[in-house]
Structure 1
Amino acid sequence: MTRQWDVLTTAAVIGSGLLSGVFFAFSAFVMSGLRRLPDPDGAAAMRSINVTAQRPPLMIALFGVSALCVAMIVRAMVTWPQPGAAWLLAGALLTIAGGLGVTVAVNVPLNNRLEAGAVTWSRFVAGWEPANHARTVLCLLGCAVLLVGAVRRL
């Protein structure tokens, strides 16, 4: 069973890094590019991005990594006295909090409000960007902490 757990742990580390990279792209240059557009154009572009984001590549990454992190939580709890267990638990929780938690609690509701015309572009950006920065950092930290957990198990 150890080999399967090692594969799942490796996938969780890579997946957490992948999510962090996606969120980083938005923080580093996508949102900056959209803010350079006139407000109606920036909002329209973001609405278009939101439609394409709801397709399998991102949804599989987001929910698949979250599922892998749940598996890491189980692994950590089942093997608690072993080296790295606490690291796996912490890394999985950080990744779930950032990848799924912030997305569901902040980014998706803002996206829905933008789609419904219930928020101005400037107010959308003012709330969406800090939340995106948070999920970027949380997933990156989750990746690093999961990696420490994996290495400590060797």
Structure 2
Amino acid sequence: MSAYQALVVAAIVVTGMAAGVLYAFSAFVMAGISEQPASAAAATMQAINRHAQRWRLGLLLLATLAVPAATALAAVVGVEPGRGWAVAGAAVTVAGVLGVTAVGNVPLNERLARAAEPVEMWGRFVRPWLAWNHLRTAAGALACGLFAIALHASGG
């Protein structure tokens, strides 16, 4: 296995992990939270967001930026077959997973955290938050697939 192929495998792993975490929220975590009274739902989401700011998620997000970026750089400077797929995977990861998180989910999380009336804010929070989360989940899955195609194209 070449160094480039090892980077592509690492990109598959980190984008797959990110997509899986995000999928869990879209598929059942938010549904379970939303079954609670609005006061409990808002408080639970605020607690989750406080925990999300700790090192474990930060490490995954850093890897989700660094590994695809390194893979794209290796693809651009190398001559691997199918390298365009790796570049596309990195672009989808940065824009669709990290970018959507930064412009969609994080601002909503911050508004909920600062809300004078979290219960009232919850009603305006959950639908747009889920819409953004569905988008970044799909982007993570797409990026993972693009990296898999890049690996296959490189003979891996």
Q: What TM-score does the superposition give when structure 1 sets the normalisation length?
A: 0.93
Q: Between the two proteins, what is the percent identity of the paired residues?
A: 40
Q: Which runs of 5+ in 2 are unaligned?
A: none
Counterpart-to-counterpart distance in 2, 1:139 and 1:50: 20
Counterpart-to-counterpart distance in 2, 1:47 and 1:17: 26
Residues 18-47 of structure 1 show CA distances to partners (whole Å, capped at 9, x for unaligned) of: 000000000000000111011111000000
Ranges of 4+ aligned residues in structure 1 off by more than 3 Å: none
| Cα RMSD after superposing both structures | 1.4
Q: What TM-score does the superposition give when structure 2 sets the normalisation length?
A: 0.92
Alpha-carbon contact 1:66-1:99 (below 8 Å) kept: no
Alpha-carbon contact 1:84-1:152 (below 8 Å) kept: yes
The one-letter code sitting in structure 2 at the alignment partner of 1:39 is: A
Shift of 1:99: 2.1
Counterpart-to-counterpart distance in 1, 2:2 and 2:149: 18
Residue number in structure 2 paired with 1:104: 102
Residue number in structure 2 paired with 1:144: 145
SS at match of 1:101: helix
Counterpart-to-counterpart distance in 2, 1:20 and 1:12: 12
Counterpart-to-counterpart distance in 2, 1:96 and 1:67: 10
Shift of 1:78: 1.2
Q: Which runs of 5+ in 1 are unaligned?
A: none
Residues 20-77 of structure 1 show CA distances to partners (whole Å, capped at 9, x for unaligned) of: 0000000000000111011111000000000111112211111112111111221221
Counterpart-to-counterpart distance in 2, 1:86 and 1:3: 17
Counterpart-to-counterpart distance in 1, 2:150 and 2:125: 37
